[in-house]
Amino acid sequence: MIKKYFSYFCGFAAGILNGLFGAGGGMVVVPMLEKDGIEAKKAHATSIAIILPLTVITSFLYLSGGRFVFSDAMLYIPSGIVGAVCGALFLKKIPNDVLRRVFGLVMLWAAVRLFFK
């Protein structure tokens, strides 16, 4: 029962982070999934599936609220798609312990950048 409420809380936190910072919900979702016993690679892949609808809704709200112009995003989408394909293919090859360490380093790097900005 507590696990169920923890999942609801983490989903809510992921939605808040996504709404405020973009797809930052992965920082909550991946550790939550790993805590539930899902192996690292599957947690990262599942995180994308969870964040996708959150991102679609957030993007729609931002676009309809005039907070961004879609043509500005189009500059990044083609290379982002190529990067997403490469990342998804590379995920199959990287060991779980390396994946966890790289994810942790990316989170630390982001935190340090934000702290000193």
| Local structure of residue 25 (DSSP, 8 states) | T
pLDDT along the chain (117 residues), means of 10: 78 83 75 84 86 86 82 88 91 88 87 86
Q: Are 46 and 38 in contact (CB under 8 A)?
A: yes
What is residue 24's predicted lDDT score, i.e. its pLDDT? Answer: 67
CA 90, 45, 42: angle at the middle one, nearest 5? 95
What is residue 79's predicted lDDT score, i.e. its pLDDT? Answer: 94
**Full-model pTM:** 0.71
What is residue 23's predicted lDDT score, i.e. its pLDDT? Answer: 66
What is residue 63's predicted lDDT score, i.e. its pLDDT? Answer: 85
What is residue 78's predicted lDDT score, i.e. its pLDDT? Answer: 92
What is residue 15's predicted lDDT score, i.e. its pLDDT? Answer: 85
